[in-house]
A and B are shown apart, each in its own frame.
Chain A
């Protein structure tokens, strides 16, 4: 299953990240994973939340530029070489990773890593064929 990631455009200004998190907190939205990519003047906050549709709506209402992107949360063995195993499969199947970041929580003995690919549908199949687990739903977390 693909996970809906929310991206938010943020200028590099004091307090902007706090504002976003504050809005989410007040609306009882839980952030499961997050990362920030930045350039000189601006940043893009990317996150996986428990209520993506609602989050998008609320942030848009508050005047933020937001969008959904399809990502895949991959289960990675929490041991040395665990991530390398997954990346090997991707490499052998000629799949390019746009970016990736880790989940805050773990699922049993697995770590969860969010991947952004050009063609997420194709990747989901490849991963399944190679016996690599992906997160099917957020509810269980």
Chain B
């Protein structure tokens, strides 16, 4: 079903008029309410009145993750703290995490776009949904929860983990929809077989998978094993969380809800818009958010976009699956990991030179593994294995507390880590995404 036919199927020309009006409003709004934007817009010498057509969006400055970090924690909030009904936090590049705040109106917007997303994936009111995304500071679990509430689904809020219980509840309650990361959907396969279940007989008909990059070959694998339709959902906490774009059953790109999230795809080097269908960085302007609106937010995700009409009837443009990143962020078990976070920890541990390498791997049907190789320098070397093991454990514990996931640390000999042009390659990603 189409949740909001009025907006999702609106004639693009008519919709563009609404976008323009909303764009002018949001530029004026952030100018008035957020000192950071007032300064920046003044610096760029641009005023809401200068936005006469949608293409004038190019006059506006970009907003980056660094801007969020520099204004930690609440510097980009457009409303007083007591109007914020919820605050979410995701990992930042170094030190400070990224904070996002939602007013009542923003939560309602989130409910709306997530209801659209679940409907776009084939959900109907009355269906049962198993939400196996993490609940908490991570936006995955609650985002789906809100959309499912709005749609009047029956929710099983299992959150992530406890796989045997997930599978037992699936078997006993028979939910039609599963929402989790694609790697978790594969991870559950072996556990199911261990429990004597035949995955093909699962009750899940639709899987809504996101929070990490995945390929069409993984889609095929999931669909065959679980006998379900696997669809991609896109989002990021800075914009709202899940619910920015969603694949429909035609599997030909993710419909972006562009009446509220205005998309541009740019050349990350020049900032110029790329041609339709070409790869570039996705930039999003929130058109209706109240608590923390963002102008031209650089997602760092590389996608392409197409504006032709989809067979499903929605008139929105569709973005491709994420093809890469313009920064060195990697996604491990749905969690964003920046090498700089790891470097920061290593620097903080006395004497540890940050010669390190991050190795990400995913064995068949198992979750991502993150291993960090740290070169041993003379300063930290001890003739006692016990002391080296303590150091190894300390590095592991501190990185785990920053990232929030279990990792492995391996001490290696100097010069083990390959250096190209004097600069070490920080990330080796062995996953077949």
Contact = CB atoms under 8 A, between A and B. Distances in A.
A42 B416 CA distance: 13
B383 A5 contact: yes
Contact of A69 (B378, B383, B411): B383
Contact of B385 (A11, A44, A69): A44
B381 A65 contact: yes
Interface string B367-408: 000000000111001111100110000000000000000000
Contacts of A98: 384
A66 B384 contact: no
Given A11-B412, A42-B411, A67 B381 contact: yes
Contact of B381 (A7, A39, A41, A116): A7
B381 A10 contact: no
Chain B interface residue count: which class? Answer: 10 to 19
Contact of A65 (B384, B385, B410, B414): B414
Interface in A37-95: 37-39, 41-44, 46, 60, 63-67, 69
Nearest to A36: B385
A67 B412 CA distance: 16
Greatest chain B CB density within 10 A among A5, A65, A69 is at A65
A41 B376 contact: no
A11 B378 contact: no
Contact of B383 (A42, A63, A116): A116
A63 B412 contact: no
B92 to A, nearest CB: 30
Given A9-B376, A65-B377, A67-B378, A39 B385 contact: yes
B388 A67 contact: no
Contacts of A46: 383
A116 to B, nearest CB: 7
A5 B412 CA distance: 22
Contacts of A69: 383
A7 B388 CA distance: 13
Interface string A5-30: 10101110000000000000000000
Contacts of A116: 383
B415 interface: yes
A9 B381 contact: yes
A57 to B, nearest CB: 13
Given A39-B385, A39-B388, A44-B383, A63 B378 contact: no
Greatest chain A CB density within 10 A among B376, B378, B383 is at B383
Contacts of B413: 9-11, 63-65
A3 B383 CA distance: 14
B414 A63 contact: yes
Contacts of A99: 384
Chain A: interface secondary structure? strand
A41 B375 CA distance: 13
Greatest chain B CB density within 10 A among A10, A11, A69 is at A11
Given A42-B411, A44-B383, A116-B383, A65 B388 contact: no
A11 B381 contact: no
A52 to B, nearest CB: 13
A43 to B, nearest CB: 8
Contacts of B416: 11
A65 B378 contact: yes
Nearest to A43: B385
A48 to B, nearest CB: 12
Given A11-B416, A65-B378, A38 B385 contact: yes
B396 to A, nearest CB: 12
Nearest to A45: B383
A98 B382 CA distance: 12
Contacts of B381: 7, 9, 65-67
Contacts of B389: 39
Contacts of A11: 412-413, 416
Contact of B388 (A42, A60, A66): A42
A42 B389 CA distance: 10
A5 B382 CA distance: 12
Interface string B74-91: 000000000000000000
A9 to B, nearest CB: 5
Contacts of A37: 384-385
Given A7-B383, A11-B412, A67-B381, 16 more contacts: A5-B383, A7-B382, A9-B413, A39-B385, A39-B388, A39-B389, A41-B410, A42-B411, A44-B382, A44-B384, A44-B385, A44-B388, A60-B378, A64-B413, A65-B378, A67-B378
16 contacts: A5-B383, A11-B413, A37-B385, A38-B385, A39-B389, A41-B411, A42-B411, A42-B412, A60-B378, A63-B413, A66-B378, A66-B381, A67-B382, A98-B384, A99-B384, A116-B383
A-B CB proximity, top 6 nearest: A7-B383, A37-B385, A69-B383, A65-B381, A9-B376, A65-B376
Interface of B: 376-378, 381-385, 388-389, 410-416
